[in-house]
Structure 1
């Protein structure tokens, strides 16, 4: 296991801490905190694998904070999503293993295109509803298809994963926005924790940055999880799209 040290100026360090706080707040509402943090980590010069690993570490604690908050208020029944959690765990292991098999040069070339796809998804993704809708998939189908499939994506790349899960719960299981957002949190937590452990073993986490960003994530996620309202996604989505596209085109320009 390697130990990675990357030097960053003090003002860049403070900016990243602020970004983590904002991402924790936003992620607890709209499920897209990674879409903010990962592009910024790439922007300041972290290599792709180190950016992915550090993003996973700090996001775990933000998601844990909002999960505990939702659980304490009675919005989550773990027994109802246990199969999906198991499939998400397996998918995350596979995705994280696969991304480490890709060369850093190839991953650097691939990253801007993944960011562009993420921005396009965020641009066209539907807004969740406050009302329950008819169920389209049973849990037996939903768990391997969505839990496992998004788990692979989360282990390999990750940003937007919370939005994918929330929209899947809303459109396929018929959950209202608050319930879909709450049930998303333990799945994202499972995927990111599993991926984080695999990255940890590989030695890709930038510890000084990851720990301080994690603290900021916890505070932001605690505040944001108390403000799960319809207007959150409407306000946040345009900012995420613009930032993600800006970083993607910057990376393309550098290539």
Structure 2
């Protein structure tokens, strides 16, 4: 049974700040916030819905911070953001109707693969590389697929956007991170709109954590813009591996 004591409130605020910091750099903020929300006694579906509330603040703050530094042009990416938002909404609406057990089984393998890719592939830096598909095709394929997944399950969505931008769009690591945040915000928002109908988010908790997310995201985006791939790559490897291990632990438990 969830009871919002002062101690729990402070723990949730701290989790929101840390998640905002990590998510602005490498994604994976939900790795921190969802377990903390559930450990306080909030039911799983309500915890996921509340996580969407606080998550949009960090993603929006990071997107704005990167845009102000000239790393992403929001005016050129708004169509992709709309697609991601609609896909996230559809995924959240269908969460009760689609079999997700098989996806949960292969997700740790995919995340470990992402971690190995960024840890071992040479030449991954902040320089742009060969573009394998056009921006229009990227928006029509990768964006809705990852956005749908973000609404349906969520863990690792930022990493999936990220690897798409690096491997297919040809972006450098820092530029890919910057572009990921706007799409992450959009699919989170779409998921929240759907979850607010099928679940009951704890708005007070979510908004309070969201404020903490803003400050964490501001700090994370500032450091990422200053240091670039030297900070983003190792943190992405750590968060992807940690998320994979957590999912494996959940399945075994």
The TM-score, its normalising length taken from structure 1, stands at 0.83
Looking at structure 1, the residues matched to 248 and 5 of structure 2 have their Cα atoms a distance apart, in angstroms, of 24
Residue of structure 1 equivalent to 2:179: 183
Is the 8 Å Cα contact of residues 93 and 195 (structure 1) preserved in structure 2? yes
Query: Judging changes above 3 Å, is the alpha-carbon distance between structure 1 residues 154 and 242 closer, same or farther for their aligned structure 2 residues?
Result: closer
* 1:13 aligns to 2:9 (yes or no): yes
Q: Distance in 2 between matches of 1:140 and 1:169?
A: 13
2:148 aligned to which of 152, 155, 178 = 152
Aligned residues: 246
Deviation at 1:87? 2.2
Q: Is 2:39 aligned against 1:75?
A: no
Structural mapping, 1:46-125, within 5 Å: 46-101=42-97, 113=105, 116-117=108-109, 119-125=111-117
* 1:173-194 deviation per Cα after TM superposition (whole angstroms, max 9, x unaligned): 1111221111111111111111
Change (3 A) 1:171 1:217: same
Change (3 A) 1:79 1:246: closer
Cα separation, partners in 2 of 1:240 and 1:16, compared to 1, 3 Å: farther
Are 1:232 and 2:240 an aligned pair? no
Structure 2 gap segments, 5+ residues each: none
Residue 26 of structure 1 aligns to a residue whose secondary structure is helix
CA RMSD of aligned residues (A): 2.7
Contact in 1 for aligned 2:127/2:172 (Cα 8 Å): yes
Does residue 166 of the first structure (1) align with residue 162 of the second (2)?
yes
Identify the residue that residue 126 of structure 1 maps to in structure 2. Answer: 118
In 1, are the aligned partners of 2:162 and 2:176 still within 8 Å (CA)?
yes
Greater than 6 Å deviation, 4+ residue runs:
109-112
Partner of 2:210: 214
Rounded Cα–Cα distance in structure 2 between residues aligned with 1:166 and 1:112: 20
Distance 1:204 1:100, change over 3 A: farther
Rounded Cα–Cα distance in structure 2 between residues aligned with 1:112 and 1:14:
31
Tell me what 2:19 maps to. 23
Tell me if the contact between 1:21 and 1:221 (Cα under 8 Å) persists in the aligned partners: yes
Q: Greater shift after overlay, 130-139 or 109-118?
A: 109-118
CA deviation after TM superposition for structure 1 residue 47, in Å: 2.3
Runs of 5+ in structure 1 lacking a partner?
Answer: none
Structure-2 change in CA distance of 1:245 and 1:153 (3 Å): closer
CA distance in 1, matches of 2:35, 2:146: 20
* Structure 1 pair 239–182 and aligned structure 2 pair: CA distance change class (3 A): closer
